């Protein structure tokens, strides 16, 4: 006998990435909230469960789902440890709840319910037959009592434990969520070139100099120190100062032209030091609470050992010469791309070995250079292989490319990604872009890292806005995204010197050794430190918190809420680095559970000071010559205006 199809429909399960083709992302310790649209014909009551399990588990755990408006149901389960979890949804017509709903309505209407009592008793008796243990006997007794309208109050809860799911519906897919450690989703990054860390001008810095620079980086509160390539640099076609094609005898070349007689991707540049020096940097950084992130640039110089050992890994022109990298009109004669089509599994295994080599030396974060120029399938394979052995490893995609490509790299496994934040400078641009990143489904698989500047990008806004522009962009990056980064020391020193008409730094560290006065009294170091202190202290700026833009009556002021439970921050930033700006900020008092007729306190965590605010609209003023941003913490109940005491 063929059973009748289920009457229940399950659709629009969220999060779901590309019909279940890719996992969502979360951080260990979070709770995954799952929603679905669930409905059936007629007016019968439904029940639904969220089924979930950890990697390697055969059976399912179940959590009841709760209905809300528009047939949406919601359930949640914790993801306490790093790894992969699976989930799906099941729903059915709840015959007993349907009966109880109709029974109560008839009783309220004064109708005879003798027949309904017998129907309910039959449902309870059937549940007793499905149940086991004490519930079976208890329900059997309740079935007899129900016919006399004398059932126990807890009957509904016991019935819910033994529903008839024989004609229920299961969602057609098993979905997955990849759970990573917190650094995959939250952290402040600092980038610097080790060769520019010497204490005195005119000398090539070493890893020992970098080790001495670590307390400086730690003092500003950074979590990650990212190093551009530290490998031997090729000599053939070496680029000179400011990317000239003819290098002088003292020019060190670009670190991204990897490989020379001294070695390739698993070697240290001789002028930087040794592997033992690198191990010392990793250890000293860890003691200061900093992780070292390495650049993963899968390309070579013409002098890399792979060029002679594996010529099949490179693409050749018709004249037999190897094709160097190009991005017309730019040419990179000092860099050879790898040919993944001809390299095959041998090349892929070699590159996997490079990653595992550095993981064995204590590196668990990699910033991947131009991943969009390599096959997606390669990254999906490599990241899965690395995480199978070392699930703590984090990959950041440096992919300034088309949105679809950037998003796909996130789907195949990259923990986080560079974004277009650098080029979003007006209020409308910021609101639209951040809203896009924080809306489903993008928010469920792509984690942005808002780098303010990079060795490749000194935006016009920074070039022309001076220190106030650097200050404003710092606050925006650090409070709009859970992960952000700066390229220093040029960032904290507010370096604005660019090659005219470009976003390139003049005298770029990519092509020469620089010396930076990190003790400059005008450095932005104190502000950077304070911003990172606020980030660490407030759950409202961590993963899982909420962000909401709020209206202002001045287009030069952008304002937004960051909220996590009772931690409420209001960030206001002036986008005008040249002139004072003022206006009113409008807050949703109902959402914040603030009394519209009582004052509440706004404490400025950046500039200091506490202000009594009233109602929805409150006035703010920002002078870029002082500080172009406020980060207010709201304290909800003020005792008196006189003494300013308050409760958190």
Q: How far out from the chain centre does Cα 596 lie?
A: 35
User: What residues form DSSP beta bridges with 49?
Assistant: 64, 90
Q: Same structural domain for residues 524 and 556?
A: no
pLDDT band (50, 70, 90) for residue 133: confident
Query: Quick check: is 252 in a domain?
Result: no
Q: Same structural domain for residues 158 and 290?
A: no
Q: How far apart are CA 227 and CA 388, in angstroms?
A: 25
Give me the CATH number covering residue 533.
Answer: 3.20.20.80
Q: Same structural domain for residues 364 and 220?
A: yes
pLDDT band (50, 70, 90) for residue 641: very low
Q: Same structural domain for residues 286 and 421?
A: yes
Q: What is the pLDDT of residue 149?
A: 78
Q: Same structural domain for residues 352 and 204?
A: yes
Q: What pLDDT, in 10s, does the model give residues 477-501?
A: 999 999 999 999 999 999 999 999 9
pLDDT band (50, 70, 90) for residue 542: very high
Q: Give yes or no for a contact between 491 and 458, defined as CB atoms under 8 angstroms apart.
A: no
pLDDT band (50, 70, 90) for residue 527: very high
Q: For residue 647, is pLDDT > 60?
A: no
Query: Quick check: is 32 in a domain?
Result: yes
Q: How far apart are CA 118 and CA 113, in angstroms?
A: 9
Q: Same structural domain for residues 153 and 101?
A: yes
Q: For residue 616, is pLDDT > 90?
A: yes
Q: Same structural domain for residues 208 and 278?
A: yes
> Structure pTM?
0.93
Query: Quick check: is 24 in a domain?
Result: yes
Which range, of 132-146, 457-471, 531-545, 548-562, averages the lowest pLDDT?
A: 132-146
Instruction: Tell me how long the chain is.
Output: 648
Q: Same structural domain for residues 108 and 191?
A: no
Give, for 242, the enclosing helix (H) or strand (E). Answer: none
Q: How far apart are CA 566 and CA 636, in angstroms?
A: 9
Compute the Cα dihedral for 404, 410, 412, 414 and give only its sign: positive
Q: Same structural domain for residues 22 and 125?
A: yes
Domain stop point among 162, 179, 196: 179
* Residues designated catalytic: 369, 398
Q: Give yes or no for a contact between 161 and 135, defined as CB atoms under 8 angstroms apart.
A: yes
Domain stop point among 505, 537, 569: 537
| Mean pLDDT over each residue of the chain, to the nearest integer | 94
Query: What are the backbone angles phi and psi of residue 389, rounded to the nearest 5°?
Result: -90, -35
pLDDT band (50, 70, 90) for residue 646: very low
Q: Same structural domain for residues 96 and 208?
A: no
Domain stop point among 113, 144, 179: 179
Tally of structural domains, the chain? 3
Q: Give yes or no for a contact between 552 and 585, defined as CB atoms under 8 angstroms apart.
A: yes
Q: What is the pLDDT of residue 215?
A: 98
| Residue numbers of the domain that contains 168 | 8-179
Cis peptide before 578 (omega within 30 of 0): no
Q: What pLDDT, in 10s, does the model give residues 494-524?
A: 999 999 999 999 999 999 999 999 999 999 9
Give me the CATH number covering residue 585.
Answer: 2.60.40.1180
Query: Quick check: is 328 in a domain?
Result: no
Q: What pLDDT, in 10s, does the model give residues 25-52?
A: 999 999 999 999 999 999 999 999 999 9
Query: What are the backbone angles phi and psi of residue 637, rounded to the nearest 5°?
Result: -125, 115
Q: How far apart are CA 116 and CA 147, in angstroms?
A: 9
Q: What pLDDT, in 10s, does the model give residues 141-195?
A: 999 988 887 778 889 899 999 999 989 999 999 999 999 999 999 999 999 999 9
Query: Quick check: is 361 in a domain?
Result: yes
Cα angle for residues 503, 505, 508 (degrees, 5° grid):
140
Q: What is the pLDDT of residue 637?
A: 62
Q: What is the pLDDT of residue 644?
A: 36
Q: How far apart are CA 482 and CA 519, in angstroms?
A: 28
Q: Same structural domain for residues 378 and 524?
A: yes
Q: Same structural domain for residues 506 and 626?
A: no
Give me the CATH number covering residue 161.
Answer: 2.60.40.10
Q: What is the pLDDT of residue 150?
A: 75
- Alpha helices by DSSP H, listed for 109-197, are 114-130, 133-146, 155-160
Q: What pLDDT, in 10s, does the model give residues 417-431?
A: 999 999 999 999 999
Query: Quick check: is 237 in a domain?
Result: no
């Amino acid at each position: 006998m063929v059973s009748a199809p289920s009457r229940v429909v399950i659709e629009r399960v969220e999060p779901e990435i590309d019909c279940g083709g890719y996992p969502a992302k979360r951080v260990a310790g979070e709770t995954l909230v799952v929603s679905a649209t669930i409905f059936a014909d007629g007016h019968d009551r439904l029940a639904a469960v969220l089924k979930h399990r950890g990697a390697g588990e055969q059976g399912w755990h179940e959590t009841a789902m709760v209905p809300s408006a528009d047939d949406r149901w919601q359930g949640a389960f914790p993801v306490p440890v790093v790894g992969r979890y699976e989930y799906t949804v099941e729903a059915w017509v709840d015959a007993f709840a349907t009966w109880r709903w109709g029974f109560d309505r008839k009783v309220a209407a004064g109708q005879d319910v003798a027949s309904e009592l017998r129907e309910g008793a039959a449902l309870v008796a059937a549940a007793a037959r499905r149940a086991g243990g004490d519930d079976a006997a208890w329900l059997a007794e309740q079935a007899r009592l129900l016919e006399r309208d004398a059932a126990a109050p807890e009957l509904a809860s016991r019935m819910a434990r033994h529903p008839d799911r024989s004609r229920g519906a299961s969602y057609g897919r098993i979905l997955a969520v990849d759970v990573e450690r917190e650094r995959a989703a939250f952290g402040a990054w600092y980038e610097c070139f080790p060769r520019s860390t010497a204490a005195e001008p005119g000398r090539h810095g070493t890893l020992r100099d970098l080790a001495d620079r670590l307390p400086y980086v730690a003092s500003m509160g950074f979590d990650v120190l990212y190093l551009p390539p530290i490998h031997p640099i090729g000599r053939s076609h070496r680029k000179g100062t400011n990317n000239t094609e003819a290098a002088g005898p003292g020019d060190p070349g670009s670190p991204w032209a990897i490989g020379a007689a001294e070695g390739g991707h698993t070697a240290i540049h001789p002028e930087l030091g040794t592997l033992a020096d690198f191990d010392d940097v990793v250890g000293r950084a860890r003691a200061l609470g900093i992780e070292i992130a390495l650049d993963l640039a899968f390309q070579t110089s013409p002098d890399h050992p792979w060029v002679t050992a594996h010529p099949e890994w490179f693409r050749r022109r018709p004249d037999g010469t190897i094709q160097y990298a190009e991005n017309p009109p730019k040419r990179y004669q000092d860099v050879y791309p790898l040919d993944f089509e001809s390299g095959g599994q041998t090349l892929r295994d070699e590159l996997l070995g490079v990653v595992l080599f550095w993981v064995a030396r204590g590196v668990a974060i990699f910033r991947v250079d131009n991943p969009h120029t390599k096959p997606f399938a390669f990254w999906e394979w490599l990241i899965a292989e690395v995480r199978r052995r070392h699930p703590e490893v984090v990959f950041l995609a440096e992919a300034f490319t088309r949105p679809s490509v950037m998003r796909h790299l996130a789907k195949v496994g990259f923990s986080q990604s560079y974004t277009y934040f650098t080029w979003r400078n007006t209020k409308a641009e910021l609101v639209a872009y951040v809203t896009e990143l924080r809306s489903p489904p993008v928010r469920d698989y792509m984690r942005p890292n808002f780098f303010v500047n990079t060795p490749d990008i000194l935006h016009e806004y920074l070039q022309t806005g001076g220190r106030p522009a650097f200050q404003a962009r710092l606050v925006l990056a650090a409070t709009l995204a859970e992960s952000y980064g700066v390229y220093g020391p040029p960032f904290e020193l507010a370096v604005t010197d660019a090659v005219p008409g470009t976003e390139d730094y003049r005298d770029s560290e990519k092509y020469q050794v620089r010396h930076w006065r990190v003790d400059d009294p005008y450095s932005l170091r104190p502000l950077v430190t304070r911003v990172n202190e606020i980030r660490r202290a407030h759950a409202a700026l961590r993963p899982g918190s909420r962000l909401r833009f709020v209206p202002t009556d001045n287009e030069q002021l952008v304002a937004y809420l960051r909220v996590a439970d009772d931690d409420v921050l209001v960030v206001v930033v002036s986008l005008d680095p040249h002139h004072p700006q003022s206006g009113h900020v409008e807050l949703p008092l109902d959402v914040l559970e603030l009394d519209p007729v009582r004052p509440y306190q706004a404490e400025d965590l950046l500039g200091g000071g506490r202000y009594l605010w009233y109602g929805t609209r409150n006035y703010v003023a920002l002078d870029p010559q002082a500080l172009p941003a406020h980060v207010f913490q709201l304290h909800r109940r003020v005792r008196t205006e006189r003494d300013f005491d308050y409760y958190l």
